[in-house]
Chain A
Amino acid sequence: MRFLKNVFSQLHSFVLWALLSAIFVGWIFTFVTDTSPEKKVEIYCYVPELRDTDLAVELERDMPEGLRMIRVHTFTYVMMNVDLVENGDIYILPESVIGEYEELLADRDAGIKVYDAAAGKGAASQYIGYEEEDYYLFIGANSPHLEDGKAQAVAEALMGISE
C-alpha cells in the first residue's frame, strides 16, 4: 500500500522517464543498427497507414545477397528532413502525386502498378493502407542499387506479397 502511494506521488517522474527513455533508446537502437546505403534498401510509401516494421521484416526474410536491412517509411516520416526522401530506393506513390515527386524517380514511365483501385487489389495490402486510387512503384533516381539490381529484386519481392 505504501509502495503504491509512493509510486503515485512520483507518477510524473515515472511517466517522464517512460517517454524520454522510449525516445532515447529508439534513437540509439536506430543509430546503432543502421547501416550504409549500399547495404540497405529504403522504401517510401505515400500512404496514410503503413505497418512499416512488419513489411520490412517480411521483405528481409528473402533479402538479396549483400543487403543487411530493409527499411520502410511513410512520407510523413521524412517531414522533418526532406533530404532523406531524396535518397530512397523504392517509392510507392498514388497516381495523383507522381508529378510532384517526378525528379526522385529513376524513370517516371517505368512505374509498376501496385494497387488497382477499380479491382481493390494490391501488393502487400495487408501492410500498406492504400487509398481509393491507383498506386505505382518506382525505383529511386538516387538509389545506390540502380546498377546492382537489388532495389529491383526487393521491388519484385514486394510485388509478390499477397494477402
Chain B
Amino acid sequence: MERRNIEMYDDGDLARLERKISRWRTVMCCVAAAGLLAVIVLVLITGTGNASVTEAAAVGVTWAAGWVDIYLWVFVVRANKRELSHATMLRTEERERIPGRARLTDGRVAIRKSITARRVEVVCEDGEVRRLLIAQSRARKLEKIETAAVYAAHGYIAAAEAAE
C-alpha cells in the first residue's frame, strides 16, 4: 500500500514565511518613516520652541509610530522569524520515524524565545504512547491527516505519513 508523506512545512511555506517577514519589515520601515516625516513637518511649521501643543503632537506621533513598530517587531516579525527558523530546523535535521496514529491534544506550550506549540500524542502499534509537539500554526494541517506514522525532529513533528 502506497503512503503519502506530508511535510508540515514545505518549500512554499518557507517562501511564504520569508515573504511575510519581509513585507512586515517594510511596513515597519514605512511606519517609522511616516512618524519621522510627521515630526519633521511639525518642527518645520513651528515658529518657536514655545509651541507646546505642536511639541506634544510631535511626541505623540513618535510614541504611536514607535509603539506600532514595537508591536509589529515583537508579535509579527520576530514570531515569524522564529517560525521560519523552526521550520528550517525541521527541514534540515535528522528525523525519526514513529509509526502510529497521531492525536492532537488541547495542551499548549509557549516555548521561550521560540514558537507556541501544541502537544501531540502518537499511539504506536505496540500500544506505547509517544508525546511530541507540533507548531501551533501547523496543528490544523495535522488534524486533517489520518496518520500511519510521523517523522519527528527534536521532539517536533516534521512530517506525517498519511494512511491511505
Contacts and interface: CB of A to CB of B under 8 A. Distances in A.
Interface of A: 6-7, 10, 13-14, 17-18, 21-22, 24-26, 28-30, 32-35, 53, 56-57, 60, 68-71
B48 A33 contact: yes
A69 B66 CA distance: 31
B66 A28 contact: no
Contacts of B47: 33, 68-69
Contacts of A71: 49-50
Interface of B: 39, 43, 46-52, 55, 58-59, 62-63, 66-67, 70-71, 74-75
A18 B75 CA distance: 19
Contact of A21 (B43, B50, B63, B75): B63
B48 A22 contact: no
A57 B62 CA distance: 24
Given A6-B75, A25-B55, A53-B52, A32 B43 contact: yes
Please report whether the interface of chain A is mostly helix, strand, loop or mixed according to DSSP.
helix
18 contacts: A6-B74, A7-B71, A10-B71, A13-B74, A14-B70, A17-B70, A18-B63, A21-B63, A21-B66, A29-B43, A29-B58, A33-B43, A33-B51, A35-B48, A68-B47, A68-B48, A69-B47, A70-B48
Contacts, number: 66
Please report whether the interface of chain B is mostly helix, strand, loop or mixed according to DSSP.
helix
A54 to B, nearest CB: 8
Nearest to B75: A6
B39 A25 contact: yes
A150 to B, nearest CB: 15
The 6 A-B pairs at the shortest CB distance, nearest first, are namely: A33-B49, A21-B62, A69-B48, A56-B50, A17-B66, A53-B52
A14 B49 contact: no
Nearest to A23: B59
A47 to B, nearest CB: 18
A119 B67 CA distance: 52
A69 B49 contact: yes
A69 B39 CA distance: 20
Nearest to B61: A25
Contacts of A10: 70-71, 74
Contacts of B75: 6
